[in-house]
């Protein structure tokens, strides 16, 4: 593998992948929304035909959850039709496809870490269209890695959301007298640096499949915030609360922890514990 194309190259995950792959000597075509529109099959084919990459990594997504509820057509167009187009072109242009999905495909009722074989039950439009994208890739593409991730953060702010949870906590600490964060919504915060490292290793193989790729362990959003406040020495009082304390704009799973079961089975689960990865990131920040 000598050349990769990264779609969504200026996003939180995409920018990390571009940097990581370049450092490892690969030629990287960094594609942003102005370069490629994955929901348009013909234009996508023109762009990718010209690049002739060995692998295409898709980080592009319509992923602002409340906005997806208001715009289901656009959500489906990007998250499902876009994935379908990349899947079809993968076979025609002979590239490996790496596609990122989400922990939100599950409904949270299991209350213990989800395995790749567990049945999805999306609770909102964003989650449903991401699962649609997964299904289409699995049915239309031969050489694919579908990677479900969770609670990501990185150096580059998320463009659709104006930042990540760490940015949100810093802003809240500056602007509020007390910061309240839910304690009954459980996830695994995951650094994009960890995802980039593990993606690169997996792509050296032909073990094509659907994988979970998150840091190890689990925590509540409140526990996530506690580490941020401690490491950044934020002095604003931090208090826990319940999901029910806030009006629910969109239905979300209250438990979305993923087990990296398939990565473990091929001895490629190199993800760090969530708190260690977070502390490393905050020290660098």
Residue 73 CB-density burial (10 A; 0-12 exposed, 13-18 middle, 19+ buried): exposed
pLDDT at 246 (0 to 100): 84
Separation between Cα atoms, residue 187 and residue 109, nearest integer Å: 13
What are the structural domains of the chain? 3-154+190-215+258-272 (3.40.50.720)
pLDDT at 285 (0 to 100): 80
pLDDT at 158 (0 to 100): 74
Per-residue DSSP letter, 95? -
pLDDT at 162 (0 to 100): 66
Per residue of the chain (285 residues), what is the pLDDT tens digit?
Answer: 899 999 999 999 999 999 999 999 999 999 999 999 999 999 999 999 999 999 999 999 999 999 999 999 999 999 999 999 999 999 999 999 999 999 999 999 999 999 999 999 999 999 999 999 999 999 999 999 999 999 999 998 776 666 799 999 999 999 999 999 999 999 999 999 999 999 999 999 999 999 999 999 999 999 999 999 999 999 999 999 999 998 888 999 999 999 999 999 999 999 999 999 999 999 988
The tokens describing 282, both together, are: 């905050």
pLDDT at 102 (0 to 100): 98
pLDDT at 157 (0 to 100): 76
User: In DSSP terms, which residues pair with 101 in a beta bridge?
Assistant: 148
Supply φ then ψ for residue 67, to 5 degrees.
Answer: -65, -35
Per-residue DSSP letter, 216? B
pLDDT at 160 (0 to 100): 63
State pLDDT tens for residues 20-30: 999 999 999 99
Which positions ≥6 away from 74 have C-beta within 8 Å?
A: 62, 68
pLDDT at 95 (0 to 100): 97
Which of these, 12, 107, 108, 116, lies nearest to 64 by C-alpha position?
12
Distances (CA, A) of 244 to 66, 157, 210, 249, 254: 17, 28, 33, 11, 11
Separation between Cα atoms, residue 83 and residue 60, nearest integer Å: 9
Cβ(220)–Cβ(183) below 8 Å: yes
Residue 6 CB-density burial (10 A; 0-12 exposed, 13-18 middle, 19+ buried): buried
State pLDDT tens for residues 143-158: 999 999 999 999 987 7
Separation between Cα atoms, residue 57 and residue 260, nearest integer Å: 20
């Amino acid at each position: 593998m000598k050349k990769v194309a990264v779609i969504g190259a200026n996003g939180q995950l995409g920018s990390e992948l571009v940097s990581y792959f370049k450092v490892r000597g690969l030629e990287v075509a960094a594609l942003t929304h102005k370069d490629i529109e994955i929901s348009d099959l013909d234009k996508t084919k023109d762009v990718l035909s010209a690049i002739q990459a060995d692998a295409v990594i898709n980080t592009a997504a319509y992923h602002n959850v409340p906005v997806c509820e208001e715009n289901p057509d656009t959500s489906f167009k990007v998250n499902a039709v876009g994935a379908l187009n990349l899947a079809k072109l993968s076979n025609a242009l002979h590239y490996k496809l790496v596609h990122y999905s989400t922990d939100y495909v599950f409904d949270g009722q299991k209350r213990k870490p989800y395995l790749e074989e567990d049945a999805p039950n999306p609770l909102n439009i964003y989650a449903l269209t991401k699962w649609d994208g997964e299904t289409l890739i699995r049915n239309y593409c031969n050489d694919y890695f579908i990677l479900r991730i969770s609670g990501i953060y990185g150096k580059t702010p998320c463009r659709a959301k104006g930042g990540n949870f760490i940015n949100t906590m810093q802003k809240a600490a500056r602007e509020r007298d007390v910061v309240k964060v839910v304690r009954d919504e459980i996830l695994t915060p995951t650094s994009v640096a960890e995802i980039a490292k593990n993606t690169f290793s997996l792509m050296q193989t032909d073990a094509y499949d659907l994988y979970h790729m998150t840091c190890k362990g689990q925590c509540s959003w409140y526990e996530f915030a506690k580490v941020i406040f401690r490491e950044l020495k934020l002095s604003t009082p931090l208090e826990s609360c319940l999901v029910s304390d806030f009006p629910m704009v969109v239905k979300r799973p209250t438990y979305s922890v993923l087990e990296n079961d398939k990565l473990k089975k091929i001895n490629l689960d190199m993800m760090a514990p969530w708190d260690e990865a977070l502390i490393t990131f905050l020290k660098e920040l």
